[in-house]
Structure 1
């Protein structure tokens, strides 16, 4: 009986270790797109590459003002997400001549700088021992 209980306990520990190996999922949903036109482009950044080189990027269609992506198998750590509504599907964010954005944008934590682009400090979040779900508002 002791052997059976030991094997069961060992099996449970192994399964726990197996499920904790690898990365986590980050589900990101924009909840208030102003139209279903175009798509939402999402970028996942580390501090070192913030707004220069995304670690991962994805695009998603918009349905009923919502758009959702899942970044899969992301290692534990600190990250930030920036996204924008590419209304004209040209693959880049468009700006007026004075530098003001023509397309809506957002960042994780929904703390946008009214006088400039999002900062890493205001957008950062941590992934530890479980998956993360975020809602972003433009």
Structure 2
């Protein structure tokens, strides 16, 4: 009888063990855009050295959203806990890439990086400075910078 009780407890424990992987939602917002033209590309990165990513080749997840009244937002769902960096492109001409000013390395459209109020040659965005730890449902606001 004792063996049956122990076996039952073990089986019951196996079937009731929480095997769910924790996942979280990340909402990214931007406001005060120069205009409501085009779309916003929200790119999420999860590896060091992945940003800047001017051709969107190193992202973990990427989505586009419409702009309403010079604001936009997008929610990435089902993200595992981890370290993430966020970049935003105000893709005014909807071509899916960061356009450059003629003969200059600066973007012709608005771009934003989490934790950055400005950037330049001496303050280039990088994964370490544009990242945070996601361990709960989170909302962040990213400033779009126009050069």
Q: TM-score, normalised by structure 1?
A: 0.79
User: How does 1:1-138 map onto structure 2 within 5 Å?
Assistant: 21-48=21-48, 50=50, 51=53, 52-96=57-101, 97-115=103-121, 117-128=124-135, 130-138=136-144
8 A contact 1:111–1:123 mirrored in 2: no
4+ residue stretches of structure 1 with deviation over 3 A?
Answer: none
- What is the RMSD of the two structures over their aligned residues, measured on CA atoms? 1.9
Return the offset for 1:133: 0.4
Return the offset for 1:32: 1.7
Q: Which has the higher helix share?
A: 1
Quick one: distance in 2 between partners of 1:49 and 1:67? Answer: 27
Deviations 1:21-58 (A, max 9, x none): 33100000011211000001011001246134111000
Aligned positions, number: 121
Deviations 1:63-95 (A, max 9, x none): 111110011100001010111100011111100
Quick one: distance in 1 between partners of 2:119 and 2:36? Answer: 25
Question: What SS is found at the alignment partner of 2:129?
Answer: helix
Q: TM-score, normalised by structure 2?
A: 0.75
User: Is there any run of 5+ residues in structure 1 with no aligned partner, and where?
Assistant: 1-13
Quick one: distance in 2 between partners of 1:81 and 1:92? Answer: 16
